[in-house]
Amino acid sequence: MILFILRRIALLIPTILGITIVAFGFVRVLPGDPVLLMAGERGLSEERYAEMLKQFGYDQPIWRQYLDYLGDLLRGDFGNSIVTKKPVLTEFFALFPATVELAFCAIVIAILVGIPAGVFAASRRGKLVDQVLMGTALVGYSMPIFWWGLLLIIVFSGNLGWTPVSGRISLLYYFPAHTGFMLIDSLLSGEKGAFLSALHHLILPSIVLATVPLAVIARQTRSAMLEVLGEDYVRTARAKGMSPGRVIGVHALRNAMIPVITVIGLSVGTLLAGAILTETIFSWPGIGKWMVDSISRRDYPVVQGGLLLIAVVVMVVNLIVDTTYGLINPRIRH
Amino acid sequence: MRITTRLLAAAAISCLAAGASAKTLVYCSEGSPEGFDPALFTAGTTFDASSRPVYNRLVEFESGTTNTVPGLAESWTVSDDGLEYTFKLRPGVKFHTTDYFTPTRDFNADDVIFSFTRQGDPANPWNSYTENASWEYYQSMDMPALIKEIRKDDDMTVTFVLNRPEAPFIANMAMDFASILSKEYADSLEASGTQANLNQAPVGTGPFQFVAYQKDAVIRYKAHPDYWKGKEAIDDLIFAITVDSSVRMQKLKAGECHAAPYPNPADIAGLQADPNLTVMEQEGLNVGYLAYNTQQAPFDDPKVRKALNMAINKQAIIDAVFEGQAAIAKNPIPPTIWSYNDAVEDDPYDPEAAKALLAEAGQEGLKMKIWAMPVARPYNPNARRMAELIQADFAAVGVEVEIVSYEWGEYLKLSSDLDRDGAVLLGWTGDNGDPDNFLAVLLGCAAVGNSNRAQWCYQPFEDLIQEAKVTSSQVERAPLYEQAQVIFKEQAPWATIAHSVQFMPLSSKVQNYKMQPFGSHRFDGVDIAE
């Protein structure tokens, strides 16, 4: 088992190196550069432009810039944002907890709703309930997130007034951020109502972010269940006179979980991608919005550092998932 | 249910007020500030969060106008040759006392000298106190070439010695980059090795003092108790950063904020209909234009340019692109700037006359390119659409137009090239309310190959604006600029298109809010009804 994990970690190194090349190249392939965007309509004289490129080190040949970047990375230096002048790592860690909190709530919703829905649909295969559930899942999967988010805000926050429009917590509360996770910080603050307010603010963005993974998990659970339900051991269990609930809940579901866990693991990437739109709509101060802003400003250090950090997070989560189903299903380890 | 929400939201906001027995104004701002040291940046969003609430300048713009009034300088004198500006500083001005800094002295000349020399002197340790520091406004207002010396005459007197007379200098001193920081605070940061905090935890003399910033989410300020103009009526000022315009307006309607800038044009009617809101509007200090490349045939012929200008149906553009929320531009400066020449007559929309003039210039069957910006700007919300309308107008007079576009950064660079092929859609928002800031920056000879996109260097025009630049009396300068606008219209380096209107939706409870001609958002002097 340890060997399995070590082998997987060793595989990460070339992947990370590849990502540095892609991330570094990606922002530079985009036309325009940060200096021009900063100058705006006013423009810059040729001399001033050259001077600024030099100051940022962008006058060097591209391979030289890349090697410098790699050298800095090895020293743990991700560089400073051109826009805010702050270290990329500081900004990342200030924003990352907000994204994690949102993504975590979204995945919890997706699992708690998606798996039962899939199981239920599988057990009623071909019936109206199945068709309605799977039809809904298809709609959810195809939903344009930006439109969906705005629709929910207009209906639930604007017209019904059940939820706040945006933000992480009511502005009424002001306490120091110990962990960056608003749910935890609000509990630590000891302020009455703060936790509920934070939870209240999480509802809409979590639902929006959960929509796509929920649909995927529901559909995957259904098809995995259908496959398992046809197996001999299920028939045996039924023949033994077990209750249908026990057959599905214990024997079938456990075996059907393997592909579902894979899908949950893979949806971490989907969640981070979905966070870009969800965070923008709900003014959620996380890394998705940060990346969008940085790309549009051609903030090279932030884009390349941010992409790398996000990629590492996704890889680590996938490694954990792989390890987990290695535990569930010994066949994979060998 | 809707009413319940409103009540709840109102209760929440009034709880805020009651909780600390304080008045709180929540402003849903459109973006995050880049930092809190305004001289490092150029974005209006950053100035709204830094220079406007936290700092003062020697000279201030009177709220709601482009007039300059005394700020941290009580008064000033200009030497007869226009080369020395002596500022008498205001005594007894207190810097903010915060969790991270307690001032031991009042504002004095050292603070003024520190605030400027750090920008102009590369040898000053504060010139590069944060990585990638650059002083863009100081540079682009040509301060390094302009300022010869900043002299401390005594603790409360500072003299700026210039290399040449510069009439807009006083207006420049009211700009955001000229904000006055505390030298004592900088020294304390230097002693503790935390220089970067100058840009993250600001200390100024302004109406509000910084409390906290949670990146991309919330900025908190409180009223400066010892503000030299007296404490503000609002106790706490909160910026709730809300990037999406529709969401911002929803927050305003739901009572989650008191003010929210930049509504979508399509949302304005709905906001105006809401009894709990007030929508203020003001003509912006801007101009949107189409600049010909006057150095390239056939656009080097004023007749051709004039003919094309007559072919453009500007009213149709205002209606379709600005949804009616703009005024037709006839001069290169907006009507809110002094010296605006209202006697100038705009080129009439007359396709027949345009055709005839083109024939006279021997330009039948002309083909050209029009550049359309890829981004929405205050002076042009949809350049692509505008280009298409002009394309159709030109087709009607027999001119075939190809529309081109580039990524924004590229667009700005390539459009400056001397040999650029085609006419460029672009615009400008004023920095300091001085006509020089439009006429010299956009049409002066020194700006050719840079911000003068028409590449237009016309001596009679240039002589007038140069003379106006070195004349210090506004009364004498105004006729020079008025004449310059007449020449501009005759020569037609641009088709002037529109001055757009800016909107500001507010809760009806907000009192005394003034829209600023420069498009900035200020909360000094603002109050909230109980």
For the residues of B228-240, what is the DSSP string, one character each?
Answer: TT---S-SEEEEE
Residue with tokens 């702050």: A86
A34-38, A69-73, B19-23, B458-462: least confident range: B19-23
A-interface mutation test, from B28, B37, B42, B132, most A Cβ less than 10 A away = B132
A-interface mutation test, from B134, B194, B416, most A Cβ less than 10 A away = B134
A170-174, B54-58, B72-76, B474-478: least confident range: A170-174
In the predicted model, is pLDDT for residue B51 greater than 90?
Answer: yes
The per-residue pLDDT for B18 is 42
The per-residue pLDDT for A192 is 87
**Total residues belonging to chain B:** 530
Residue of A nearest to B216 (CA): A285
The per-residue pLDDT for B276 is 94
Per the CB < 8 Å rule, is B214 touching A171? no
In the predicted model, is pLDDT for residue B329 greater than 60?
Answer: yes
Amino acid, single-letter form, for residue B225: P
Residues of chain A with pLDDT > 70, as a percent, come to: 97
User: What mean pLDDT do residues B219-244 have?
Assistant: 95
DSSP states of A128-181? HHHHHHHHHHHHHHH--HHHHHHHHIIIIIIIS--S-SSSSS-TT-----SSS-
- Per residue in A12-46, pLDDT (tens digit) is 889 889 999 988 988 888 877 888 887 777 777 78
Per the CB < 8 Å rule, is B412 touching A172? no
Question: Which of B2, B16, B218 has the CB atom closest to A159's CB atom?
Answer: B2
The per-residue pLDDT for A295 is 87
In the predicted model, is pLDDT for residue B12 greater than 60?
Answer: no
Per the CB < 8 Å rule, is A150 touching B132? no
In the predicted model, is pLDDT for residue B20 greater than 50?
Answer: no
d(CA B429, CA B432): 10
d(CA B410, CA B401): 21
Question: Which of A44, A82, A95 has the CB atom closest to B132's CB atom?
Answer: A82
The per-residue pLDDT for B332 is 96
Distance from CA of B407 to the nearest CA of A (A): 6
Distance from CA of B200 to the nearest CA of A (A): 9
d(CA B461, CA B463): 5
Residue A135: CB partners within 8 Å, gap ≥ 6?
none
Nearest to B28 by CA among A313, A315, A171, A140: A171
d(CA B401, CA B422): 9
DSSP states of B94-159? PPPP-SS----S---HHHHHHHHHHHH-TTSGGGGSSTT---HHHHHTTHHHHEEEEEEEETTEEE
Distance from CA of B396 to the nearest CA of A (A): 31
B136 class by beta-carbon count within 10 Å (0-12 exposed, 13-18 middle, 19+ buried): buried
Residue B327's pLDDT band (boundaries 50, 70, 90)? very high
Interface residue B238 vs chain A (CB under 8 A): yes
Residues of chain B with pLDDT > 70, as a percent, come to: 96
User: What mean pLDDT do residues A151-156 have?
Assistant: 92
Query: Is there a contact between B488 and B331 (Cβ–Cβ < 8 Å)?
Result: yes
d(CA B245, CA B261): 8
Q: How far is CA B528 from CA B63, B208, B244, B275, B333, in A?
A: 18, 16, 25, 17, 35
The CA dihedral of B139, B141, B142, B143, to the nearest 10 degrees, is -80
ipTM at complex level: 0.84
Residues of chain A with pLDDT > 90, as a percent, come to: 34
Per the CB < 8 Å rule, is A38 touching B410? no
In the predicted model, is pLDDT for residue B511 greater than 50?
Answer: yes
Interface residue B194 vs chain A (CB under 8 A): no
Consecutive H or E run containing B252: helix B245-253
Nearest to A55 by CA among A38, A74, A77, A43: A38
User: What mean pLDDT do residues A142-157 have?
Assistant: 90
Question: Which of A40, A95, A171 has the CB atom closest to B412's CB atom?
Answer: A40
Interface residue B40 vs chain A (CB under 8 A): yes
Q: Which residues in chain B have their CB less than 8 angstroms from residue A286's CB?
A: 216
Residue B7's pLDDT band (boundaries 50, 70, 90)? very low
**Chain center to CA of B341:** 22
User: What mean pLDDT do residues B125-129 have?
Assistant: 92
Per the CB < 8 Å rule, is B32 touching A293? yes
Interface residue B529 vs chain A (CB under 8 A): no
Task: Show the 3-state SS of B271-323.
Answer: HHHCCCEEEEEEECCEEEEEECCCCCCCCCCHHHHHHHHHHCCHHHHHHHHCC
Per the CB < 8 Å rule, is B196 touching A33? no
d(CA B380, CA B497): 9
d(CA B337, CA A289): 38
**Total residues belonging to chain A:** 334
Which tokens is B149 given?
């010396």
d(CA B245, CA B230): 34
Residue A296's pLDDT band (boundaries 50, 70, 90)? confident
- Per residue in B181-230, pLDDT (tens digit) is 999 999 999 999 999 999 999 999 999 999 999 988 999 999 999 999 99
Which tokens is B251 given?
């927050």
Question: Which of A30, A84, A170 has the CB atom closest to B35's CB atom?
Answer: A84
Interface residue B22 vs chain A (CB under 8 A): no
Task: Show the 3-state SS of B257-271.
Answer: CCECCCCCHHHHHHH
Query: Is there a contact between B480 and B465 (Cβ–Cβ < 8 Å)?
Result: yes
Residue of B nearest to A55 (CA): B132
Residue with tokens 């002693």: B191
Q: Per residue in B404-433, is it b (16+ CB within 10 Å) or e — as a string?
A: ebbbbbbbbbbbbeeebebbbbbbbbbbbb
Query: Is there a contact between B106 and B77 (Cβ–Cβ < 8 Å)?
Result: no
The per-residue pLDDT for B465 is 95
d(CA B372, CA A135): 43
The per-residue pLDDT for B143 is 93
Per the CB < 8 Å rule, is B406 touching A150? no
B365 class by beta-carbon count within 10 Å (0-12 exposed, 13-18 middle, 19+ buried): exposed
Which tokens is B498 given?
């529109």
Q: Which residue has the higher pLDDT, A135 or A4?
A: A135
In the predicted model, is pLDDT for residue A1 greater than 80?
Answer: no
Question: Which of A95, A171, A289 has the CB atom closest to B240's CB atom?
Answer: A171
Which tokens is A233 given?
């051991």
Q: What average pLDDT is seen over chain B?
A: 92
Per the CB < 8 Å rule, is B215 touching A167? no
Is the peptide bond between B298 and the residue preceding it cis, with omega within 30 degrees of 0?
Answer: yes
Distance from CA of A106 to the nearest CA of B (A): 20
Residues of chain B with pLDDT > 90, as a percent, come to: 78
Residue B247: CB partners within 8 Å, gap ≥ 6?
A150, A153, A165, A166, A281, A282, A283
The per-residue pLDDT for A330 is 63
**Chain center to CA of A142:** 18
Residue of B nearest to A154 (CA): B250
Phi-psi region of A43 (alpha: psi -120 to 50; beta: other; left: phi over 0): left
Q: Which residues in chain B have their CB less than 8 angstroms from residue A36's CB?
A: 409-410, 412-413
Question: Which of A55, A165, A170 has the CB atom closest to B12's CB atom?
Answer: A170
Q: DSSP code of B379?
A: T
The per-residue pLDDT for A215 is 93
d(CA A321, CA A262): 7
Per the CB < 8 Å rule, is B140 touching A42? yes
The answer to whether the Cα torsion of A7, A10, A15, A18 is positive or negative is negative
- Per residue in B354-404, pLDDT (tens digit) is 999 999 999 988 999 999 998 888 899 899 999 999 999 999 999 999 999
Q: Which residues in chain B have their CB less than 8 angstroms from residue A170's CB?
A: 12
Q: Which residues in chain B have their CB less than 8 angstroms from residue A40's CB?
A: 42, 412
Which tokens is A94 given?
């200030």
Residue B130's pLDDT band (boundaries 50, 70, 90)? confident
- Per residue in A228-285, pLDDT (tens digit) is 888 888 888 888 888 888 888 777 888 888 888 888 888 888 888 888 889 988 989 9
In the predicted model, is pLDDT for residue A332 greater than 70?
Answer: no
In the predicted model, is pLDDT for residue A331 greater than 70?
Answer: no
Amino acid, single-letter form, for residue B195: Q
Among the residues of chain A, which ranges form H helices?
A: 2-29, 34-39, 46-56, 62-74, 88-123, 128-142, 145-152, 182-189, 194-229, 232-239, 244-246, 253-281, 287-296, 300-328, 330-333
Angle at the Cα of B223 (from B220 to B229), degrees rounded to 5? 145
User: What mean pLDDT do residues A288-307 have?
Assistant: 89
User: What mean pLDDT do residues B409-429 have?
Assistant: 91
